[in-house]
Amino acid sequence: MLTAEINKEAFSSADTLDRIRIIDALYGDRVIHLSSMQKTAGVLMHMIYRTGARANIVFIDTQLHFPETLAVRDKFREKYGLEIVTVQPDITPQVQNKIYGTELHRFIDGQPLCCHLRKELPLKKAVERFQAKALITGLMRAEGNGRSQVPAVSSDPRIKCTVFNPLFDWTSSQIEDYLRRHDVPVHSLYGQSYASIGCAPCTTPVNPGEDDRAGRWRHLRVSNGCQPLYCNINYSDKINHSAQKNTT
């Protein structure tokens, strides 16, 4: 089953629920949905619930999340009975600070290492634990920036997984509509002007007119007008340049 040929055209043109079913038929429980607990993840977790897909839902707890992020995870567990597996880095933030002598996230040249230690390595651990051959992400072309060309299906050579982006052709209003229609829990910080939510030290609300990702790593904005926009846990972000020209 795991060597089955993926028909990318059929996947792209299928209804989104059918995309989840296609992934399930191809990979069964050898697939991970990497859940950020943001709105797109809410849609995907709800679709996994609706279809009964066997995907392992994995939440990477960097140990630097907002308490509200952990609360959304717990709401999904309670409301839908979903098994959401939390994976953490091997070292606590305190130990990391001792090793590197500083809080890496505070510096433009420390952030990539911090994201590598607290996000990428735990993902690798999860892939090994579940012997996963595929990932489901919530990336959408409508997010723009480095994601404006995100394909429906790609691959991540770092973890030797096929990567499915079932929401690649969705828009923000479709996401909102789905969440409302199905009464899906939503991260409470969206109600406080946050537009994209990651670790607490690297996430701020956005001002009117700012790009949705302007609140990520805002403190690292530097004099040449660039700031990181992605943590690179998604391989397609990594190859599409993690530092984009800041437009805010």
In the complex, the residues that contact ligand SF4 under the rule CB under 6 A are 62, 64, 105, 111, 114-115, 118-119, 198-199, 201-202, 231
**Closest separation between CB of residue 123 and ligand SF4, Å?**
12
Q: Pinpoint the alpha helices (H) of 57-185.
A: 67-80, 93-100, 111-115, 121-130, 172-181
6 or 91: CB nearest ligand SF4: 91
Is residue 231 among the annotated active site residues? Answer: yes
**Closest separation between CB of residue 127 and ligand SF4, Å?**
18
17 or 99: CB nearest ligand SF4: 99
89 or 166: CB nearest ligand SF4: 89
**Closest separation between CB of residue 103 and ligand SF4, Å?**
8
Separation CA 119–CA 130 (nearest Å): 17
**204 alpha carbon, distance to own chain's centre:** 17
Say if residues 146 and 243 touch (Cβ distance below 8 Å).
Answer: no
Nearest to 74 by CA among 157, 178, 188, 179: 188
46 or 105: CB nearest ligand SF4: 105
Separation CA 61–CA 29 (nearest Å): 21
**∠ CA 218-224-227, rounded to 5°:** 25
Q: Which residue's CB atom is positioned nearest to ligand SF4?
A: 199
Nearest to 248 by CA among 201, 213, 203, 204: 213
Separation CA 62–CA 86 (nearest Å): 10
Q: Which residues are registered as beta bridge partners of 87?
A: 60
Identify the three-state secondary structure at position 11.
helix
20 or 199: CB nearest ligand SF4: 199
Amino acid at 128: E
**Closest separation between CB of residue 23 and ligand SF4, Å?**
27
**Closest separation between CB of residue 105 and ligand SF4, Å?**
4
Token readout for 46 is 């709800």
Separation CA 22–CA 10 (nearest Å): 9
**Closest separation between CB of residue 98 and ligand SF4, Å?**
15
107 or 190: CB nearest ligand SF4: 107
**57 alpha carbon, distance to own chain's centre:** 11
| Catalytically active residues, by annotation | 231
